[in-house]
Amino acid sequence: MTAIFERIGLTFIRLFEQTGLWFEALRSTIKWMFRRPFDGREWLRQMVRVGVDSIPVVVLTSMFTGMVLALQTFIGFRRVHAEQFVASVVSLAMLRELSPVLVGLMVTGRVGSSMAAEIGTMKVTEQIDALKALATEPVQYLFVPRVIAGTVMLPFLTVIGDFLGIYGGYIVAVKLMHTNPVVYQQNTYQFLALNDVWSGLVKAAVFGLILTLTGCVRGYYTTGGAEGVGRATTNAVVSASLIILLSDFFLTKILF
């Protein structure tokens, strides 16, 4: 019995420890963000890596999500003769919820994991110590460009996701379910408010910060050799995904 309580206690201690490290890294990242030298080339390189290179995966995910969402809601709404609301449901769901969350999760899998692996490998091969020895603060050189790239590029990816998700829904409704295209388009915009767009973009920026910072922190605190790097990579994806899903609820609550 004592052993169980001990394990529960240890889990909580570790959780608080990790949370503390995360917020400490956030504080440090913000502090070093405004100090010279500003490494513009590295910032751009990370933006391409996080943003441009993620476009194909975002295109596919968003488009098919929009398509399946239209298909499902059409089937359900037809039972209560409310097919005309399919367009509104698809656009609202994509803008407010699905696009930012899906983009967040997909980029976590693609980029957050690779950041943890990259920084973790640097840690176990003493490259992080070498950076410090060369008077270069690892937080400034590694964390800052990645966190900026995540925070800036996720909203752009979300905009792409919004358009393609809505377009995917349009294809299914018009081409497969033979809805009137003009009516579908009208219904898409009719119930939308500006708030629906920007709240999704704010969420995306926060998710971008979460996934990149989590990847960096997990990599930075890697211990052990190759096994440690593998563990850090898995932990980065699991933790960032969980934090994104949890914070999504609270952000929705705050933003509306």
Could you list the residues that contact other proteins (CB under 8 A)?
35, 37, 118, 121-122, 125-127, 129-130, 132-137
> Which CB, 137 or 248, lies closer to other proteins?
137
DSSP class of 177? S
Among residues 30 and 130, whose Cβ is nearest to other proteins?
A: 130
Question: Which uninterrupted H or E stretch holds 129?
Answer: helix 127-133
Shorter beta-carbon distance to other proteins: residue 140 or 188: 140
Whole-angstrom CA distances from 115 to 18, 101, 244 are 18, 20, 17
- Residue 152 CB, nearest approach to other proteins (Å): 22
- Is 219 within 8 Å of 123 (Cβ atoms)? yes
Residues 219, 59: Cα–Cα separation, whole Å: 28
Q: How far is the CB of 230 from other proteins (least distance, A)?
A: 18
How far, in Å, CA of 128 to CA of 119, rounded? 8
85 within 8 A of 77, measured Cβ to Cβ? yes
Shortest spacing between CB 137 and other proteins, in angstroms: 5
If the CB atoms of residues 87 and 216 are measured against other proteins, the closer one turns out to be 216
- Closest contact distance (angstroms) between CB of 221 and other proteins is 15
Residue closer to other proteins (CB basis): 96 or 123: 123
Q: Are 119 and 222 within 8 A, CB to CB?
A: yes
- Give me the least distance between CB of 113 and other proteins, in Å please: 17
* Amino acid letter, 113: S
Minimum separation from the CB atom of position 55 to other proteins (A): 23
For other proteins, give the closer residue by CB, 61 or 222. 222
Per residue, the 3-state secondary structure of 54-67, as one string, reads: HHHHHHHHHHHHHH
